[in-house]
Structures are given as structure tokens and as C-alpha cells.
Amino acid sequence: MSQHQPDMISTSTPERQPVVNDFSITFCTVNGSGSATSNLTVLRAIFKMGIPVSGKNIFPSNIQGLPTWYSIRVNKDGFTARVEKDDIIVAMNPATFIQDLDYVVPGGMVLYSDDIKLTPTRSDLTYYPMPVKQLIRSIDITPQLRDFVSNMIYVGVLAWLIGIDMEAIRAALEYHFKGRAKPVETNLAAIRVAYDWAAANLQENHTYRLQPMKATEGMILSDGNTAAALGAIYGGVQFVAWYPITPGSSLPEALIEYLPELRMNKETGEQNYMIVQAEDEIAAIGMLVGAGWGGLRAMTATAGPGLSLMTEYLGLAYFAEVPLVVWDVQRVGPSTGLPTRTAQGDLTGVYFMGHGDTNFIQLFPGNMNECFEFGWKAFDIAERLQMPVVVLSDLDLGMNQWMGQPFEYPDRPMDRGKVLWEGDLDLFEAKTGKKWGRYLDVDGDGIPYRTLPGNLNPRSAYFTRGTGHDEYARYSEDPEVWERNILRLAKKIQTAKSYMPGPVIQRMEQAQAGIIAVGSTDAAVQEARLKLADRGIKTDYMRIRGWPFTQEVDEFVRTHERIYVVEINRDGQLRQILMINYPEQASHFRKVARVNGLPLSARWIIDEILSQEEK
Amino acid sequence: MTTVDAQTGINKVGLSRADYKGLPSTLCQGCGHNAISNQIIAAMYELDVIPEKIVKFSGIGCSSKSPAYFLNRSFSFNGLHGRMPSMALGTLFADMTLKGIGVSGDGDTASIGLGQFKHLIRRNLPMVYIVENNGVYGLTKGQFSATAEKGLTLKHEGTNLFLPVDICLEALASNATFVARSFAGDPKQVKELIKAAISHRGVAVLDIISPCVTFNNKDDTIHSYVFGKEHEVRLHDLIFTPARDMLTIEDFAEGDTRDVELYDGSMITLHKLGTDYDPRDRQAAFKVLEEARVKRELLTGLIYVNPDEPSIFDLYKFPEKPFNRMTEQEIRPPSETIRMVNEWMFSA
Ligand SMILES: Cc1ncc(C[n+]2csc(CCOP(=O)(O)OP(=O)(O)O)c2C)c(N)n1
Ligand code: SF4
Ligand SMILES: [Mg+2]
């Protein structure tokens, strides 16, 4: 027997101004129940209505039966960061029902499946029990399909309550089902039934309303991993080896999906790329080292545990000067940690990765468009410098849907770096007056010239090793040779600065403090800055996009005495790296760091900075 | 059968034996690994192989150093301990007209590298994979490897209590398409097997028993000096290795058995597979290996071959042009495709 009498509906909320295009909805479901399609449909439909929107999936490391939350934030000003409270929840999971209510703002709405027979603990909310089973039975579909389609009931009820446009829903479904009419119509039928039921049985509330805007016109929706894969395809990726791990997997899986579309000869069926699912991450990175050494644009994607396994080979790649690209889509560590939750906890790990004096070029994409851009740029940087590049993304950026401008075709030709083919060896010697040596720095930038296997010039071959070697790739244990080589490698890091993407700096007039962040926290930081400014705290903000740091970073650090370093980890890893890079300014950096598995909210950043400012 | 001109010593591709040489070996004199390097040189020379068409790979160990000592004109990558197979796979995709020769040790293959070894075989990458098997870790100075005989006693290690990993059996179990065993002291057989292996379409596994003259010795014939001090600090041991000639046996007939005395006075029994043995019969291969194990014989020869199984390259459709020579136009989709891609992204 339902505890909630129909008369509870919409009686608890006094008439108030509707909140338009500024609220959040969380779908509380059980994973494996097929709710993803419904949630994405709502997200896409709102986006299609021209209203800025973002979606975050908070999911368990499990295939079926554990609670999952999907939060959609609608925000007319374009803020996309996570918020801590829900205005509306769609409660489909009895196991978390009572707990889920705690997150709803006073006056908020609760849609729930009427087979949840629990007594709500709060009387300041408006409840909408939905007869999901009964409605689904009224649709003409096979019993097997009922489970899949039943999540569409809440889409229909919600559509009526907040005003989601039916045409936008249709567009979202057509996109999702790649235009296949049957599933589109089946799902639409369920949504219509629910919509009509709501119209006939629910009292209009109008607390939260969607109103079409034009704010998303021309924009696209993508997750960062798909964007990265597409960017890599435009970067001419030729060799991919990977081992499945959340949240990295969907990047190579996007390559598997899109490479045939974009890089296969439609007439001959020939592919000019190779994808290998390796036996583990050691093999995956080993394959990349082989491919990169062979002259291919090689990449992988992984997460913390995989990166740990890759460390030895990455050190060899650094020392043997092999270009390759590793995407580390960060999740919560240490150890297996929270495999399906987001963090920025690999910053110092990557910074110090490898034994001996090892360095890696690092890139920090801050949004989906930068995932695309760094997708191709990482190859140019790796090949130019003959070094591994590690791109540090994270689960929030990689796996969630983000709005963005359309992807832009690379604005420059590929940089394949210093490669000598058969005829080039003579040219090299004529030009430099020197015999070619694999590790001979003739340009003074630390970067030597390389030849590739398959080069038929008898003078092109060389012996590559992880042991000491001289300019001509000969084995050497000579102290001077070693030191000369290791110092040349350090010089490459200096050279790298002119190839790195600079930071994005946003200033406010008379800023009293600085903020530094990397990656996906950008959305929350942007929002926090504006709200802090309203409270009288003006900040300059620098989002760093790579290491080695460029001159603009040096400048920002020097000219701001108090800098809040915002990041998702326990120890303030970015702050630690900054302190190492800027020992003179080490006292400038303040820690604003936490890790609990969730993306940072603007509110938390504001509170943290406010409390430190008051000190 | 060779095509070398007897007078000039020049082979069909216009090269002399010297064109196949490597640097002088820095391995111990008499090390079995050197004998194998020599046979690789001979085989490539006699087969008129263009050295630039070969890429050498190795892991870490004395054995893995040996690619420096043959085929100077071939590219070579001396990688990580136990992880050579993955690297070889990546490189061979760069130019599929190249052939790989991998050299590994028993530690490199059967201990740390067993996983990659088996997955390499599973993928049937076109390369020769030679294990220079001495039952010990040479380079780290004489620890047991996973192929060490049960009951073997080594100077600093005591007695090995465990049964050995049989590389040929491991290869067979992983569906290898070419499995052979030989003995470094039987140059003729080693050379012939290398020739057969290089002509094989997929991965060819050659387990070559290659005695370590320095460490795999039971009765402490090798002396060590502790540098500067009386008491032993093993990290700083200097090992004195007496110069020896490479152990070589006389050629013997197929189907025959020969006892061979090793450096340490121990005996091994070689059993050459007979002409009536059919190496295409996988079950028979398992059977003869098992019988040899029971009899404590070392079975040598081509144990199994399946020339028809497709290599990894045969499983896909690739263009003829090597990947690593492709231009920007070939690997970057044209600019007009970006519109379509953006449409895929649910553009509003
Ligand atoms: C990750 C790692 N662990 C340990 C070593 C040390 N190491 C170098 S060679 C070797 C064993 C080599 O034995 P084997 O492959 O049988 O070659 P051999 O020297 O006997 O020819 C070891 C353990 C290493 N190089 N890398
Ligand atoms: S230690 Fe043994 S394996 Fe190493 S070079 Fe000497 S004889 Fe060969
Ligand atoms: Mg060994």
C-alpha cells in the first residue's frame, strides 16, 4: 500500500516564482537497469532546446544491481560544474530512496516509482509517484522490451512537469538509436503515455521550468574520451595498444568505432592503422615503444594502475628517445581505489615517474575541445621532441558529456620531427659536415635526428638500448659520455617549452589573489571566481595546460603573492609540483585540495577560499 | 644449399660474409650464445638476406646482448627484461616487409617474460624467436632460471627443487606454428633451423640449449676473487673465467642419440628427431617432448611446424606501403570530414 496519498501532490509547496533554466535533476537508479539511455535523452533534449546543460554519471564499480546517480545541471549562464544539491530527483532505487531525499533542496520535487513503498522523511518536498508498471503494460511491446523501455516513463512525466520539448526528445532518441525507427518509436510511445498520464493526473506545479534558449546553437555534445580519440585520428594515429580499464577504456573504444569511418579505404577495405588489445599494460606500452621507435604515431589510454605497470617501459622510451602518447584518464587511487570515480591524483606520480632522472612531457586538457586538440597535438610534440607525452585527463572529463564548440580541424601541418630517410643521410652529412649519429645534437636544441627501421641505407641502422650510449649509439659506461647525454636530455625539456600549449589566463581588475588549476576543475573554478567576485574577492586565474611550464606560468607565479591551487587529490599535488618548480615563490601557493570521488563543486571552492582569505 | 659465389665469397644480393657481422662479442669466451650469433650470420649470408630488411630485438641478459654481435647493418632494439615480444610487435607494424629476429634468454623468456612470450605466439607475429637457454641467469651472475634442472646445485644458490619450464611445450601449448630445439654446439643444425625459421610465415620458436661456461657448473671449477677484501660481498665479485673453446660436437645422423659432456662434467643426451618423424603432427610433437622428458633426453630438431596458419598480418587488410612511410595526406582525414564528425556529436 502506498504511503503517499494523492492529495500530497503539490499541496506542500506554496505558490512561488518558477525557477527557469537554473536547476539540477538527479536520476537515482540501479545500475544495469538501462537508465543511461533515458538520462542521456533528457540531457540531449535540453541541449537541443538551446539551454546550457551538463551531465555527470556517479556510478559504481559493478555491472548490475548497485546504486547509480546521474545528475543533470541546467544552467542558463552556462555553468557546468557539479552542484551539491538537487532541485529534482527521480527516485527509482528503493535502496537509496530515503537517503536520496536528503539531497533535495526545500521545495524540491521528487518523482518516484510507485512500487517504492517507503514513507518519505520530508514534508517540504513535492512528491510525484509514477505508476511505472501500469503505464508500461498499456504499451504494445513484448514483455522482454518492457524493462528497457520502462525508464522512459520518468522521461515522459518529467517532460510534462518541467517542459521538455517533445521534438527535442525525438531528436535525442533518433541520435541515440542512429536513426533506427523501431526503437525510436517504441521509446517515444512510452514517453507519450507517461506524458499524457501526467497531464491528466498531476496538478501543474511549475516550480521548475525549461524555456527554450539559443545558447547552445552551433555547439556539440561529447565526452572527453571520444573527443580525444577523434583528435588522435586527425593527428594521424597509426598504432593503438591498450588494456581495458575504467575510465580509460572508452577512449580506445571510440578509436575502434571511428577509425574505420575516417581512416579505412572504403573501396579496398584497407586500413592504415592497427589497434591491439594487449595482454596487459606492460605489453600495451611495449608495443607503443616498438611502434614509436619504428616511426608510427602510437598511443594508448589507461588509468592509474595501468600507468604504474607502464612505468619501466616509459623510462626506456624517455632514455631511448622514443615518441609515443599515453592518455592517463585519472580515477581515484591509491591502489584500485574508487575505479569509477574521478580524481587528479596522478599528478606527482607522473611528474616523478620512472627511476633515475626521467622526465615526461605532460598535457592537461581542461575541457572536451582540448581533449580533441591535444589528441592530435600530443603526437606533434612527442615526435618533435622524441619523447613520451602523458596526457592527464580524468574520469569526469573523459566519461561525462560536455557541451563545447565544434571540433576544429588542426590549424597546422603535422610535425613529424627530425627523421632521416635513405637520401637524407647524405644531405645531413653535407650540411653539418658530421657523420650522422643517432644521439648527436647538431642543432643545439638537444634533439638528435633519427632513422627508422626499413630505411635501406646501409648507414642508417643503429643499436637502441636502455643502457649507456654515446652520440653514435655505441655502448658506453664512460662518465663523461653519460653526463653529456643526460644533460642533453635535460636540454630537450628546455626546448619543449616552445612547443607546449601555454596556460589560459583570465584576469579581474584589482585582483587580490590568484588561482591555479589544471584539467576538469575548470568549470567549478570559473563559477567560483564569479561568485567570489560578488563577495568582493577578485581573482586572477591561470589554468595550466602542460609541463614543462612556459614563461607565462613563470610570470603569473612571480606576480601573484597569494595563489590558491585548486585540485582533486589529498596532498595538493599540483601545489607540490609548483613549489618544486618555483622554490623562490614556494610560499605563494595555498592548498585547495580534496578528494572524495566527486568532481569539485564551485561552492566548496568558494568556502575554502573564503575561509583562507579570512585568516 | 647456398648461392654464394665460391670464388668471391659474394652472395646473390652482392654481400660478403663481413656484411653480416656484428661488433666483437663481449660475452665470455666459449659462451654458447656466441656460437648462435655465428650461425645467424651464416644463415643470413647464405640465404641472401638483405640485412636492412631484418630488425633485431632482445630483452635483457647475456643472450639479449648478442644482437650487437651480428648483423650490424640491421636496426636493433635491446629492450626490457622479459618484454621484447610486445616491442617487436609494435615495430614490425611500422614496416610489414621487415622480418624480426628476437634473441632472448631462458630467464628473459621463461621467468619474467613468460606471459609476453605466449601472447606473441598467440598472435603469430612473423619473426624468429630464439631462446638461448642455459638454465641460469648469466648476466646477474648465476641464479637459477625457470628452465634449470631439478636438483641442479649452483655456487651461491643451493639446489633447485623445482621442475623446469619446457619452452617448447609452452610454445606448443600456446599454438605455436613453428617449434624447434637445438644445441649451440651443433652449428649445422642450428644454422639449418634458423634458415627454416626465417622462412616461416609466423612466429618461429627456437629453443637452443646454450651452455653458460661461467655459471652453470656444479663443481665450482670457476674461481672468484673478492675485490679488495677477504670476505665475500657478492655484488662486487669479480669472476675469473678461463678461456675455453666453444663446445662443439661432431655432426651426427638424424634419429641418433649422442651423449655430450658439458663443461661442468655433466652429461646431456641429445636425441635428433628422425626422418620418419612428421613435424606437422601436433599430437606427436607433444608425445615426443614428453617421452624425451621422461628419458631425460634433449630432443633436437624441428618439433612442430604448421606453415599454413595465417600470421597477424594476414588477418587484416593493409595497404602495401609501409605505415612508417605514409604521408600526412594519407593519415590525416581531409578537412571536409570535420563537418561530418561534428554532426556525429549531436550538434545543436
Ligand atoms: C625488471 C628487471 N629485473 C631484473 C633485471 C636483472 N636481470 C638482468 S639479466 C637477468 C637474467 C637474465 O637471464 P637470461 O634471460 O637467462 O639470460 P642469460 O644472461 O642467461 O643469457 C636479470 C634477472 C632486469 N634487468 N630487469
Ligand atoms: S656468463 Fe654465461 S651466459 Fe653470460 S656470457 Fe658468460 S658464459 Fe655466456
Ligand atoms: Mg639464461
CA A552 / ligand 2 centre spacing (Å):
55
Q: Which residue lies with its CA nearest to atom 8 of ligand 2? A: B31
Q: What is each CA distance from B276 to B255, B272, B279, B284, in whole angstroms?
A: 8, 11, 9, 12
3-state SS record for A99-137 = HHHCCEEEEEEEEEECCCCCCCCCCCCEEEEECHHHHHH
Judged against a pLDDT cut of 70, whether residue A405 lies above it is answered with yes
Model confidence pLDDT, tens digit, residues A183-235: 999 999 999 999 999 999 998 777 999 999 999 999 999 999 999 999 999 99
Ligand 2 pocket, residue B154 CB under 6 Å: no
* Cα separation, B119 vs B126, whole angstroms: 13
Q: Are A560 and A527 in contact (CB under 8 A)?
A: no
Q: Are A593 and A568 in contact (CB under 8 A)?
A: yes
Q: How far is A24 from chain B (nearest CA, A)?
A: 21
C-alpha cell at A111: 518523482
CA B108 / ligand 1 centre spacing (Å):
6
Residue ranges of chain B with per-residue pLDDT less than 50: 218-247, 262
- CB-CB neighbors (< 8 A) of A45 in chain B: none
- CB-CB neighbors (< 8 A) of A300 in chain B: none
Asked if A286's CB is within 8 angstroms of B338's CB, the reply is no
Q: What is the pLDDT of residue B229?
A: 23
The domain limits of chain B are 17-315
CA A464 / ligand 3 centre spacing (Å):
22
Q: How far is A445 from chain B (nearest CA, A)?
A: 25
Higher pLDDT, B324 or A34: B324
- Which residues belong to CATH 3.40.50.970 in chain A? 222-404
Helix, strand, coil percentages for chain A (3-state, nearest 5): 40, 20, 40
Ligand 2 pocket, residue B65 CB under 6 Å: no
Q: What is the pLDDT of residue A144?
A: 83
Model confidence pLDDT, tens digit, residues B256-313: 766 656 455 555 566 677 778 888 899 999 999 998 888 877 888 999 999 889 999 9
Residue A493 φ then ψ, to 5°: -65, -40
Ligand 2 pocket, residue B34 CB under 6 Å: no
Q: Are B209 and B268 in contact (CB under 8 A)?
A: yes
Ligand 1 pocket, residue B136 CB under 6 Å: yes
Residue with cell 657523420: A435
CA B140 / ligand 2 centre spacing (Å):
10
Q: What is the pLDDT of residue A548?
A: 98
Asked if B80's CB is within 8 angstroms of A235's CB, the reply is no
Q: Which residue lies with its CA nearest to atom 1 of ligand 2? A: B138
- Please report the ipTM that was assigned to this predicted complex: 0.94
Q: Is B314 on the interface with A (CB under 8 A)?
A: no
Asked if A286's CB is within 8 angstroms of B116's CB, the reply is yes
**Omega before B333 within 30 of 0, i.e. cis:** no
Q: DSSP letter string over A363-432?
A: E---SHHHHHHHHHHHHHHHHHHTSEEEEEEEHHHHHSEEEEPPP---SS-----SEE-TTHHHHHHHHH
Q: What is the pLDDT of residue B244?
A: 40
- Which residues belong to CATH 3.40.920.10 in chain A? 6-209
Model confidence pLDDT, tens digit, residues A556-584: 999 999 999 999 999 999 999 999 999 99
* List of E strands, A466-553: 504-506, 513-518, 539-544, 546-547
Q: Are A34 and A151 in contact (CB under 8 A)?
A: yes
Query: What is the CATH superfamily name and number for domain A222-404?
Result: Thiamin diphosphate (ThDP)-binding fold, Pyr/PP domains (3.40.50.970)
* Cα separation, B292 vs A79, whole angstroms: 73
CA A426 / ligand 1 centre spacing (Å):
39
* Cα separation, A70 vs A39, whole angstroms: 7
Q: Which residue of B has its CA nearest to A217?
A: B348
Residue A402 φ then ψ, to 5°: -130, 145
* Cα separation, A493 vs A483, whole angstroms: 16
- How does the average pLDDT of chain A come out, rounded? 95
* List of E strands, A16-103: 19-20, 22-30, 53-58, 67-75, 86-91
CATH fold of B17-315: Rossmann fold (3.40.50)
Report percent pLDDT > 90 for chain A. 91
- CB-CB neighbors (< 8 A) of B89 in chain A: 276, 286-287, 290
* Cα separation, A58 vs A60, whole angstroms: 7
Ligand 2 pocket, residue B270 CB under 6 Å: no
Q: What is the pLDDT of residue B46?
A: 95
Q: What is the pLDDT of residue B259?
A: 62
Judged against a pLDDT cut of 60, whether residue A90 lies above it is answered with yes
For residues B38-48, b (16+ Cβ closer than 10 Å) or e, as one string?
bbbbbbbbbbe
CA A37 / ligand 3 centre spacing (Å):
56
Q: Domain A6-209, CATH 3.40.920.10 — does that match?
A: yes
Q: Which atom of ligand 1 is nearest to the CA of B81?
A: 26
CB hemisphere CA count around A191 (13 angstroms): 28
Q: What is the pLDDT of residue B185?
A: 86
Q: What is the pLDDT of residue B269?
A: 61
Q: Which residue of B has its CA nearest to A402?
A: B345
- CB-CB neighbors (< 8 A) of A226 in chain B: 345
Judged against a pLDDT cut of 90, whether residue A32 lies above it is answered with no
Nearest to B110 by CA among B85, B140, B79, B90: B85
Residue A319 φ then ψ, to 5°: -80, -35
Q: What is the pLDDT of residue A455?
A: 98
Whether the CA torsion B168, B173, B176, B177 is positive or negative: it is positive
CB hemisphere CA count around A372 (13 angstroms): 23
pLDDT (mean) for A335-351? 97
Q: What is the pLDDT of residue A60?
A: 86
C-alpha cell at B239: 669472476
Q: Which of A138-142, A253-257, A320-324, A528-532 has the lowest mean pLDDT?
A: A138-142
Q: What is the pLDDT of residue B150?
A: 85
Model confidence, pTM: 0.94
* Cα separation, B286 vs B280, whole angstroms: 12
* Cα separation, A434 vs B171, whole angstroms: 47
Chains A and B form CB pairs within 8 A to the count of: 226
Asked if B328's CB is within 8 angstroms of A272's CB, the reply is no
Q: What is the pLDDT of residue B76?
A: 98
Q: Are B148 and B116 in contact (CB under 8 A)?
A: no
Whether the CA torsion A303, A306, A310, A311 is positive or negative: it is positive
Q: What is the pLDDT of residue B257?
A: 64
**Which B residues in the span 91-110 are in contact with A, Cβ-Cβ below 8 Å?**
91-95, 97-98
Q: Is B348 on the interface with A (CB under 8 A)?
A: yes
Q: How far is B125 from chain A (nearest CA, A)?
A: 12
Asked if A241's CB is within 8 angstroms of B55's CB, the reply is no
Nearest to A50 by CA among A174, A165, A209, A217: A217
At residue B326, the 3 state secondary structure works out as: coil
Q: What is the pLDDT of residue B248?
A: 60
Which residues, in sequence order, are CB contacts of A305 under 8 Å at separation 6+? A245, A281, A333, A335, A336
Confidence of residue A478 (pLDDT cuts 50, 70, 90): very high
Confidence of residue A418 (pLDDT cuts 50, 70, 90): very high
At residue B298, the 3 state secondary structure works out as: strand
Q: Which atom of ligand 1 is nearest to the CA of B59?
A: 15
Q: What is the pLDDT of residue A600?
A: 98
C-alpha cell at A78: 552556462
Q: What is the pLDDT of residue B293?
A: 84
Q: How far is A413 from chain B (nearest CA, A)?
A: 8
